[in-house]
Amino acid sequence: MKFLRLNAIPLLGFLVLSSSIFAATPDFQKDIQPLMTKYCVECHGASKPKAGVRLDSYDAIIAKSRKQSVVPGDPDKSKIVMTMTGAAKLMPPKKFTPRPTTEEIDLIKDWIKAGAKK
Ligand code: HEC
């Protein structure tokens, strides 16, 4: 029994560690909105948004979107991901800097995969 108990300690540590790495679903306010503000809102804000696509608030991105900007659960069908990865017309447009990093795009994908909650 003593042997078993000792072995359970590192296993427990691993479980705690891995759940804190994998279970963290990105949060809209904390993780996603700042990326939109940084890369997209300059052209997709409330006034005269390009292509009629507004990305300046949760409601604008999800509820009021006419362009499937986000399809909850399906990042590959979500225009904001498709445009960032180049699967659709590249966004931000080519010459615009800074550009979102792969890590930032993955964060947005994870958020959408998890249901794109507010
Ligand atoms: C420098 C201005 C600018 C920035 C920054 C920008 N866009 Fe755009 N966006 C445009 C323009 C212009 C269009 C219309 C392009 C067209 O139809 O030819 C557009 C169109 C779109 C569309 C509609 C495309 C379609 O196929 O219907 C989406 C979705 C989009 N942008 C998402 C984004 C996202 C997501 C970001 C940030 C990562 C972003 N844009 C950043 C200028 C911008």
Number of domains in the chain: 1
Q: How far apart are CA 57 and CA 46, in angstroms?
A: 9
pLDDT in the model for residue 22: 57
DSSP 97: S
Residue 53 lies in a domain: yes
Residue 82 lies in a domain: yes
Residue 14 lies in a domain: no
Residue 16 lies in a domain: no
pLDDT in the model for residue 24: 80
Higher local confidence (pLDDT), 101 or 1: 101
Residue 90 contacts residue 2 (beta carbons within 8 Å): no
Q: Ligand 1, from 43, 102, 109: best to mutate by most atoms within 8 Å of Cβ? A: 43
Residue 104 lies in a domain: yes
Residue 2 lies in a domain: no
Higher local confidence (pLDDT), 59 or 67: 59
Question: Ligand 1 centre from 12 Cα, in Å?
Answer: 46
Residue 34 lies in a domain: yes
Out of 60-64, 69-73, 76-80, which region has the weakest mean confidence (pLDDT)?
60-64
Residue 52 lies in a domain: yes
Q: Ligand 1, from 69, 89, 99: best to mutate by most atoms within 8 Å of Cβ? A: 89
Question: Ligand 1 centre from 51 Cα, in Å?
Answer: 7
Average of pLDDT values for 7-32? 69
Q: For the whole model, what pTM was predicted?
A: 0.83
Q: What's the domain range around 33? A: 26-113
Q: Is the CB of 38 under 6 A from ligand 1?
A: no
- Two tokens, residue 112: 């959408």
pLDDT in the model for residue 14: 58
